[in-house]
Amino acid sequence: MSRLQIHDVSVVYPGINGGEQVRALSDINFTIEPGEFVVALGASGCGKTTLLSLMAGFISPTEGYLTLGDSQIDGLPRVACGVDLADQIDGPGKERGVVFQKHALLPWLNVIENTEFGLKLQGVGKAERRQRAASFLKLVGLEDFHRHPVYQLSGGMQQRVGIARALTNDPKMLLLDEPLGALDALTREVLQELLLDVWKETQKMMFFITHSVEEALFMASRLIIMSPRPGRITHEFELDFNERFLECRDARKVKSMPEFIEMREQVLSIIHGDEAAGGLH
Amino acid sequence: MSATKALDAKAAISPAGSPQQSSPTLLQRLKKIFSAGPVMPGESYGAPGRGKSAAISLVTASALLLLWFVTTTAGWIDPMFLPSPVAVLARFWEVLTEGFANATLLEHTGWSMMRVFGAFALALVTAVPIGILMGVNRVARGLFDPIIEFYRPLPPLAYLPLVIIWLGIGEVSKVVLIYMSIFAPMALSARAGVRSVAIEQIHAAYSMGASRWQVIRHIILKSALPEILTGMRIGIGFGWTTLVAAEMVAAQAGLGFMVLNAAEFLVTDVVIMGIVVIGIIAYLFDMLMRYAERKLVPWKGK
Ligand SMILES: Nc1ncnc2c1ncn2[C@@H]1O[C@H](COP(=O)(O)OP(=O)(O)OP(=O)(O)O)[C@@H](O)[C@H]1O
Ligand SMILES: [Mg+2]
């Protein structure tokens, strides 16, 4: 497996109707090593989704470039109108799976058809893809909803279908944009542990966006904290609470360790300091 | 709130205000119709136009029929302007069995349906692919956009003479005229459908290893389907609208021809009967399309 590198990347969104340009990311240098679980934390609008879209290949950087192993990932040509399918080099690929913040399930397919969709695209036979999709649906607790239309599911259930779909496709790298945002506390903990297990077992590279400090500390082997206008990475921490959990299998115990609590206070003060300095609009 | 207050004040002033207090006033009833009101499970508070309207439509239709019946049988209107429903029904039977203007009603209907649905089928296999192509490809969009946008607002009667000069007065020019009126709305709907696809769905497909062709087939075409079906409904409507214009020139049969011919000789009951037949066929087809919509795109608007 190969590392993902971001070299001096800036992203500037053009102003709409002659409005002001938005510098969403500024001079990002950053590497995700094989087997790393990277979590990004930061206030709304600080460029987390933009960073993820770059890695996924959905947008191209205004300055700088990205590499995955030896190959440059340039992304789609900027899509102004939404669906201008101009020719593309590299861009997204099935080695980088994505769990989206919203709107990415296909309403004309039911739950299991959505989950197996990637395998279907790759020509995997029906029996095999059904079986693999079913096993991941069971993992996310949706084994009783195979034939449900996705637009009738609750927000949290839709997110779980999104996670199962990405896992079923078995990518080398998983990019998750607030995947657990709409879930209740209990399901959230179950899925946190599930994702850690999957990570441990498959050694996938993970890039995980969240708004929850506790979740960030619990999941990350490396935590990056971002600040807005312009979007930058301001802090980085190497963490091992996820490893500790995988040893003792007791999330509550890990989350009440003195080191964990100390770390949480430190991160919270960074975030609050940022908000005081940057000023929320 | 203020309206109710004003009403109360009125009731207080009026000495004969007692019946207003016991039963809801007209204004209160109107307010109830236009307020959001409580909802059943599966419905949504404040959704625009929520609730059933079939019963109201039935009442409207019956009232209009009754009005027609009463005014004509009472002799208030000259039958040359508006014949009674009975006369129209009698004429319907007569044209059905004996015919009018050298053809029976079934022949007239058959010819018209062949023209409209023939043009519709032609538009379906050309306009929808071209509309989709315009959505996904800038070359196709640049090529077709000025043509369609230019002729779309023109009334078919305006370019009818040109069509006749080019294609003669035979069957071809009739079908082409109807086809042209259906083509534009259908192509533009297909194009709008392509544009309505959520970019996240396209991204998701690419991230799962989809090729460009797979994205078009599995995501874009599916997303565009609701609007394509809407375009078909709008298109066939334009088709019926243009039918009469198409049958103005050298037709031997057809509902539009029948109506025009009857109008020339002031046979008003045939005129009305023809209008009703066209209306009923168009309505039935629309019902069929709505049924297809419910079956094919149950996720629409969700
Ligand atoms: N397509 C776009 N066009 C113009 N500006 C954009 C676009 N997408 C994002 N932005 C701007 O870029 C900045 C970063 O947006 P981004 O979506 O990356 O934030 P985020 O950190 O993911 O926020 P959230 O936590 O709310 O999801 C914001 O100021 C936003 O307004
Ligand atoms: Mg975001």
Task: Give the pLDDT score at B121.
Answer: 96
Ligand 1 centre to CA of A48 (Å) is 8
A169 and B209 within 8 Å at the Cβ level: the answer is yes
Give yes or no for B206 touching A (CB within 8 A): yes
Task: Give the pLDDT score at A108.
Answer: 93
- Could you tell me the CA-to-CA distances from A18 to A13, A150, A230 in Å, in that order? 12, 39, 19
The residue-averaged pLDDT of A171-190 equals 89
**What is the C-alpha to C-alpha distance for residues B191 and B129, in angstroms, rounded to an integer?**
9
Task: Give the pLDDT score at B26.
Answer: 81
- Asked if pLDDT for residue A168 goes beyond 80, the answer is yes
Computed over its alpha carbons, how large is the radius of gyration of chain A?
19
**What is the C-alpha to C-alpha distance for residues B286 and B233, in angstroms, rounded to an integer?**
7
**Listed range (A231-235, A240-244, B43-47, B231-235) with the worst mean pLDDT:** B43-47
Assess whether the C-beta atom of A46 lies below 6 angstroms from ligand 1: yes
Residue type, B49: G
Task: Give the pLDDT score at B18.
Answer: 47
The residue-averaged pLDDT of A26-35 equals 90
User: What is the pTM (predicted TM-score) of this model?
Assistant: 0.81
- Asked if pLDDT for residue A89 goes beyond 70, the answer is no
> How many Cβ pairs closer than 8 A exist between chain A and B?
88
Task: Give the pLDDT score at A80.
Answer: 34
Residues of B in contact with A49 (CB under 8 A): none
pLDDT one-digit tens code per residue, B45-81: 777 777 788 889 999 999 999 999 999 888 888 888 8
* Angle A281-A58-A38 from CA coordinates, rounded to 5°: 70
Residue type, B179: Y
Task: Give the pLDDT score at B6.
Answer: 46
Residue type, A60: S
Write the DSSP symbol of residue B217: I
Assess whether the C-beta atom of A13 lies below 6 angstroms from ligand 1: yes
**What is the C-alpha to C-alpha distance for residues A67 and B291, in angstroms, rounded to an integer?**
51
Ligand 1 centre to CA of A207 (Å) is 17
Taking CA–CA distances from A56, the nearest residue in chain B reads: B207
pLDDT one-digit tens code per residue, A116-164: 999 999 998 999 999 999 999 998 888 899 999 998 888 888 988 999 9
Task: Give the pLDDT score at B256.
Answer: 92
Task: Give the pLDDT score at B36.
Answer: 67
Give yes or no for B140 touching A (CB within 8 A): no
pLDDT over 90 for what percent of chain A? 40
Ligand nearest to the CA of A44: 1
Give yes or no for A228 touching B (CB within 8 A): no
- Residue whose token pair is 């197996």: A116
Task: Give the pLDDT score at B19.
Answer: 47
Task: Give the pLDDT score at A65.
Answer: 79
pLDDT one-digit tens code per residue, B242-284: 998 899 888 889 999 999 999 999 899 999 999 999 999 999 9
Minimum CA distance residue for ligand 1 atom 14: A47
**What is the C-alpha to C-alpha distance for residues A48 and A233, in angstroms, rounded to an integer?**
10
Minimum CA distance residue for ligand 1 atom 31: A45
Which residue of A79, A88, A106 is the best one to mutate when testing the B interface, meaning the one whose CB has the most B CBs within 10 A?
A106
Assess whether the C-beta atom of A226 lies below 6 angstroms from ligand 1: no
- Judge if the upstream peptide bond of residue A171 is cis by omega within 30 degrees of 0: no
A92 and B222 within 8 Å at the Cβ level: the answer is no
The residue-averaged pLDDT of A85-96 equals 64
A104 and B204 within 8 Å at the Cβ level: the answer is yes
Taking CA–CA distances from B209, the nearest residue in chain A reads: A94
Give this complex's ipTM. 0.87
Task: Give the pLDDT score at A68.
Answer: 80
Nearest to B231 by CA among B278, B293, B173, B170: B293
- Could you tell me the CA-to-CA distances from B35 to B24, B29, B39, B53 in Å, in that order? 15, 10, 12, 16
Task: Give the pLDDT score at A275.
Answer: 56
- Could you tell me the CA-to-CA distances from B122 to A54, A181, B136, B174 in Å, in that order? 44, 49, 22, 13
The pLDDT confidence band at residue A274, using thresholds 50, 70 and 90, is low
Q: For residues A221 and A242, is the Cβ–Cβ distance under 8 A?
A: yes
Architecture of domain B84-296: Orthogonal Bundle (1.10)
Ligand 2 centre to CA of A132 (Å) is 29
The residue-averaged pLDDT of A92-113 equals 89
Assess whether the C-beta atom of A47 lies below 6 angstroms from ligand 1: yes
B220 closest CB neighbour out of A83, A97, A171: A83
Query: What residues of chain B score a pLDDT lower than 50?
Result: 1-20
Task: Give the pLDDT score at B12.
Answer: 45
Q: Given CA atoms B205, A104, B197, A117 in this order, what sign does their dihedral have?
A: positive
Task: Give the pLDDT score at A1.
Answer: 53
Task: Give the pLDDT score at B21.
Answer: 54
Residues in chain B: 302
Give yes or no for A173 touching B (CB within 8 A): no
**What is the C-alpha to C-alpha distance for residues B293 and B274, in angstroms, rounded to an integer?**
29
The more confidently predicted of residues B66 and A183 is B66
Sequence spans of domains, chain B: 84-296
Ligand 1 centre to CA of B244 (Å) is 54
B207 and A96 within 8 Å at the Cβ level: the answer is yes
